[in-house]
Structure 1
Amino acid sequence: DPNQILEIRKLIRNLAKDHTVILSSHILSEIQAVCDRVVIINKGKLAAVSSITDLSSKLSGNSKLLLSFKGNVKDVKNAIQSLPGVTDVNVRVSDTDIHEVDITIDPSKGSDLRTSIFYTMAKGNWPILEFRSLDPTLEEVFLSITSA
């Protein structure tokens, strides 16, 4: 029951104001929705203790952006793939004329590619409907830490 889930989350958050609450679960989406800090145990050993935000930002690998747009999928993909620092472009074509693309960026380039992507889209006359960074989920963080 979604209402009950929200009530339990609210209860846990209220208790956490004045108490330490230890919540053990394999349902990482619930942990991410309720907790500020996590402990990750791998094969009986402590693998990580930190805030979810810190773990997400320390997740090794590439940064990701989500772009929703109108336009020719192949042209947009080719244009974005040609930008320096872009390591992967994954397009999800929809039945409508609005498509999404996940853009993976090599963080070692040290540059913010959002401006370049914006101007590339403007030059191609492809309207941007949504443009945001994709933070790794707790599940992705967990898999990265425990598979290392």
Structure 2
Amino acid sequence: MLQPHSDSSARVVRCGVVTVSDTRSPETDKSGQCIQDLLTAAGHEVGDYEVIKDNPEAIAKRLEILAHTDLEALIFSGGTGIAHRDNTYDMLEKHLEKTLPGFGEIFRSLSYQEIGSRAIASRAVAGTYRGMILFSLPGSTGAVQLAMEKLILPELRHLVTQLRP
């Protein structure tokens, strides 16, 4: 397997983690904890974490609040499916200034290898927003771990450096 380009920098990326769920709390949020643990283990900093309800106003409000912080990357989990209450993709995608189509494409391909055809229901997306890199992942712990280990962590420093040299 090809390895991503080497990042000579040991840059610590300051990240925000948002879980979008009508049923989880910080105590029961395994996916949010997984994201935080993997970021920390990779030498990054979690500067903000919150669980919010899956409704458009809450998502838009949280995104606006985080835009006025010193965070460099935002990772949302949950609300990326097609159910009536899945609003994360719809709210975040319309705010992205530049999209990274390869992220969603590769994520779904990797996900297909693990869960089969159900991967087509994922609307995982990534892009830029107000000088930050933004990722939106499904809410399952398996999906979060896959995205973090195979896509986000190998490229996070590079992507942030592209936005904030």
TM-score range (shorter-chain normalised) is under 0.3
- TM-score of the superposition, structure 2-length normalised? 0.26
Greater strand share, 1 or 2?
1
Larger Rg: 1
- TM-score of the superposition, structure 1-length normalised? 0.28
